[in-house]
Each structure stands twice: as C-alpha cells, then as structure tokens.
Amino acid sequence: VGLGLCVTMLGLGCAVELGQLGQQLRRPVGLLLALLGQFVAMPLLAFLLALIFALDEVAAVAVLLCGCCPGGNLSNLMSVLVDGDMNLSIIMTASSTLLALFLMPLCLWIYSRYWINTAVVQLLPLGAVSLTLGSTLLPIGLGVLIRYRHPRAADLLVKISLWSLLVTLVILFILTGTMLGPDLLAQIPASVYAIAVLMPLAGYALGYGLATVFKMPPHCRRTVSLETGCQNVQLCTAILKLTFSPELIGSMYMFPLLYALFQSAEAGLFVLAYKMYGRDSYKQDTLGEEEDTDISYKKLKEEEVADISYGTVTTEEHNSIQMEPTQTAL
C-alpha cells in the first residue's frame, strides 16, 4: 500500500506543470473548488451518513476518515474519458492533497466529537495522520521537479502511476479476500455497504452542483463532479493500516476498499452514460445539419430553375417579338 501510494503521488507531481500551477494560483478557482468539495462537502456528507445509519464508533471513524481524504488519481483518469478539463482535475487533486496536511486532521477532530467518549476516537492518532500525509508530499515535490527538468520521463511516470493505481486496488482486493475470506465481509453491517454505495454517488452529485453554482462550462462540471466523489482510498487504507491495530479497527479496514469498488463502478457508469449521450447528441446534431443543408440546397436549386426558366421564356418571347417585325418587313 505504501509503495503504491508513493508511486501514485509521484505520478501526480509529474502531471503538474509550474506554468499551469501559477496560472491557477492567480485565478484560484480550482483551489477553491477543491477546498469546498473535499474538506467541506465530503466530510459533512460522511458525518451525516454515519448519523443517519447510526454507525458505531469504529465504523464511523472509518467512514469519516475516507470522507476527509483528499481527491484521488482515479478522477484524473476518468476526467480524460469524459472529455473533462485535465488541468483543472490535476490542480484540484494536487491542491487537495496539499491542503489535507492541515485540514484533514482538523476535519477528523471536528466531526469525531460526536463519538468522543469512545475508545477509538480517544486513540485517534491525528499526529500519525499528519505524518502520513506529510510523507506523501515528498514524492509530489519530486514529481514536480522531474516534470520541470525531464518532461518525457514525467509523461512516462504519469502513465505508470495510473496503472499502479489500478493494479494496487486489484491486489488489495485479492489479498484481502484471500487472507481474510468471506467471513470478514459477512461481519460488515449492511449499513456500511449502503454508505459505500451512496457516498461516492452523493459526492458526484455535490460536485456537479458546486460547479453549477460557479457557472462553469459542462466539461468543467464533469471534472469537478469526479474530483469531489473520488477519494484517495490508498491514503485511507494506509492510515487505517499504519495507525490502528487490527484488533481495534477490525472489519472496517475493508471500508476504503468497498468505497474504491463502488466509486470506480459508479464513475464507470458515469463515463458510459456520457459516451452514449455524447454520441447520440453528436449524431443528432450532424443529421440536423445535413437536413438543413439539403433543404437549403433544394430551395436554392428550385429558385435557380425557376429563374432560368423564367429568363428563357422571357428571352424567347422577347426574341419572337423582335423577329416577327423583321420577317414582316422582309
């Protein structure tokens, strides 16, 4: 998990260009959307879902931890598939990761107050969370440096990081299922499964609504939607693994994996719906243009034929009128 997280963060840094970063800082719309989406909307959503489904303290902490995580690299890959704004996607992911160093422990401290009298919240290692987040900044900084000095190598590392993200998730599912078996999945309450389904879906909807409030164009709305709903589940898994004992966290170690499964599936459906709708609308627009062109062409031909025939008749009549007096004279 740690190695996959480092490779993913390195690829994220390699995707950031200093010129684009400076442009975004001068007009920090992406930074503001990342702040509102990842550290206002998602933590509040996780807190409300934990209250609505009456989760115990262990499950609530796992859900809160996932909700307070920054954006993940899955959103960058999905943004490409829906023709989104890649610069905005990368800036939002990078800025939310940097902001998470301070805001993620703060959000955890605020929203865990409801379960403050429980042992798991009293043992919530905010210092270890900050340390884990701080360690992710080193590969990001290294990636930015590689992008600045070796652009071709940076492009290759970006592709490697995206594949490592998918491979790491698959390995986590296989190893967890093989080592722990179906008994662990059976121990997870149905309410946790429901949250794993609803939370990314609600995140996508909140992100799209947030971008609509800012009056962004459609491709930017799709980007913000994916950025808000896709969480860095690798980071969440690493924090759960490195900061909590297995006896304490128990089956809730599986929650970020479940979230990753459903956020990927729902994002895939989002991409599929966009592809189908985009193709249909493109075909309709193309057919409409062709029909308009044919109608205009037919009208133009009819007008040309009418003009020519009228001119011919007129010419013939005019000539006949001119020719008759000549023949009479002769």
Domain assignment present for residue 261? The answer is yes
Confidence of residue 25 (pLDDT cuts 50, 70, 90): low
Contact 99, 35 (CB under 8 A): yes
Q: Which domain holds residue 271?
A: 1-278
For the cut 90, the answer to whether the pLDDT of residue 41 exceeds it is yes
In a domain, 283, yes or no: no
Query: What is the pLDDT averaged over residues 183-199?
Result: 85
Distance CA 155, CA 153 (A): 5
Task: List, for residues 272-298, the tens digit of each pLDDT value.
Answer: 888 887 655 534 443 444 444 444 434
- Cα torsion angle, 188, 6, 221, 154, sign: negative
Among 91, 38, 88, smallest CA distance to 66 is for: 38
Specify if 222 maps to a domain: yes
Strand partners, 71: 231
CATH code, domain with 55: 1.20.1530.20
Looking up tokens 């149905």 gives 190
The DSSP secondary-structure symbol of 55 reads: -
Enclosing H/E stretch for 111: helix 86-111
135 within a domain of the structure (yes/no): yes
User: Is residue 219 in some structural domain?
Assistant: yes
Q: What is the mean pLDDT of residues 240-247?
A: 74
pLDDT at 36 over 50: yes
Average pLDDT over residues 169-178: 71
pTM metric for this prediction: 0.71
Q: Is the pLDDT of residue 66 over 80?
A: yes
CA–CA distance, 265 with 271 (Å, rounded to integer): 10
Cα distance between residue 121 and residue 117, in whole Å: 7
Mean pLDDT for the stretch of residues 29-54? 91
Quote the number of domains for the chain. Answer: 1
Measure the CA–CA gap between 146 and 285, rounded to whole angstroms.
43
Confidence band (pLDDT; 50, 70, 90) for 50? very high
Which residues are paired to 231 by β-bridges?
71
Structure confidence at residue 304 (pLDDT): 45
* Position 115 in a domain: yes
pLDDT at 194: 93
Label residue 62 exposed, middle or buried (CB < 10 Å: 0-12, 13-18, 19+).
buried
How far apart are the C-alpha atoms of 322 and 330, rounded to whole Å? 13
